[in-house]
Amino acid sequence: MLKRVLSGDLPRSRVLATVLIVIVVALALAPFAFPGAKALNVAAKICVFIVLVASFDLLLGYTGIISFAHTMFFGIGAYGVAIAITRMGPTWAAVAAGVAVALLLSFALSLVIGLFSLRVKALFYAMITLAVASAFQTLASQLSDLTGGEDGLSFKVPEVLTPGFSLVERPFLGVSLNGKLLSYYLVFAATVVLFLVMLRIVNSPFGRVLQAIRENEFRAEALGYRTVAYRTASNVLSASFATLSGALLAIWLRYNGPDTSLSFEIMIDILLIVVIGGMGTMYGAVVGSAMFIVAQNYLQDLMKLASNAASGVPVLRDLLHPDRWLLWLGVLFILSVYRFPFGIVGKLRVRALAKR
């Protein structure tokens, strides 16, 4: 049963399976196991990034396409929901309309980019996608009447997802069963479904062709596969899932702006997570997103404690100052790449294979 749910793509490592179970259980029980607004926000962000990074891995890890326009599709999904609710009101019809329009726009843009750009070499394609993403970010900032400009859009969500909505009056295990909880579990459930769909795609005959194109495009073409068509389809699918992850982010935050979903820093984060987790594995998106987002949000707190503990050692105290958290995040990234050249998932699978 589990093998069927995972489309035959089992972790193939006991350590990896344990890590994945811990992450999934932690996310499933996050509202009860980790009380507090910050912890819930971190858990929701991990869920969103799992879908976003997995969708990028579908493009980079399984097809071998380097694109810098992924955040553009992420932003389209977030803006689609934000604009629709702002114009139509906080209803499920507005959410559905926003998601539908965003998917159509992402489909059209990814199809055009794929058809006209995937025929060029990888480097030129990457530069084209970077230019398109930059132009879209500028456009979103300037169309203030539609997108709210640099200030973005704050909006309401359907009443059932608001903190003021209560399922029951009394808390359960110390947690209020309100709309915020429902909103989190909507994001969590959507993440599970979308991830399993992507896992099915990469383990289907279509996914095998994508991997063949990644390994040797000329050989795949010689076998009769229209590589441009497959690469374009991969580009469209990847963009669609990124759009859906953006919609989930907007529903959770009830806000969207250029820095929230279109920033190039998000693109850098996606690349880092894919490398840390492991390209072409899908499970790397789960492990990498959990590790990176937790480090991004709690590394400063840990460094503050360490800095206070080392207050009597001037140099060490300064090195551990919370303001230098990006430096240590970079060091951790370098060490992880050095220690896990194929990503954490790849390393664990190779180690498990060597023990057999």
Q: How far apart are CA 173 and CA 129, in angstroms?
A: 48
The single residue listed with the structure tokens 């025929």 is 119
Instruction: Give the pLDDT of residue 121.
Output: 65
Instruction: Give the pLDDT of residue 120.
Output: 63
* β-pair partners for 172: 175
The single residue listed with the structure tokens 């896990």 is 340
Instruction: Give the pLDDT of residue 49.
Output: 96
Domain made up of 2-355: CATH architecture: Orthogonal Bundle (1.10)
The string over 107-138, giving b where at least 16 C-beta atoms fall within 10 Å of a residue's C-beta and e elsewhere, is: bebbeebbeebbeeeeeebbebbbebbeebbe
Helix axes 92-117, 70-88, angle to 10 degrees: 150
- Could you read off the pLDDT tens digit of each residue along the chain, which spans 356 residues? 777 878 877 888 889 999 999 999 999 999 988 888 889 999 999 999 999 999 999 998 888 888 888 999 999 999 999 999 999 999 999 999 999 999 999 999 998 887 776 666 667 778 888 888 888 888 888 888 888 888 889 999 998 988 877 777 777 777 777 888 899 999 999 999 999 999 999 999 999 999 988 888 888 888 888 888 888 899 999 999 999 999 999 999 999 988 888 888 899 899 889 988 988 889 999 999 999 899 888 877 787 777 777 777 776 777 777 777 777 777 777 777 777 777 888 888 888 777 76
Instruction: Give the pLDDT of residue 307.
Output: 72
* β-pair partners for 24: none
What residue spans define the domains of the chain?
2-355
Rg (CA), the chain: 21
Q: Residue 156 has what DSSP assignment?
A: -
Give the SS3 label for residue 172: strand
For 82, list phi and psi in degrees, rounded to 5: -60, -45
Q: Which residue blocks in 118-176 are alpha helix, DSSP H?
A: 122-142, 144-147
pTM: 0.92
Instruction: Give the pLDDT of residue 122.
Output: 66
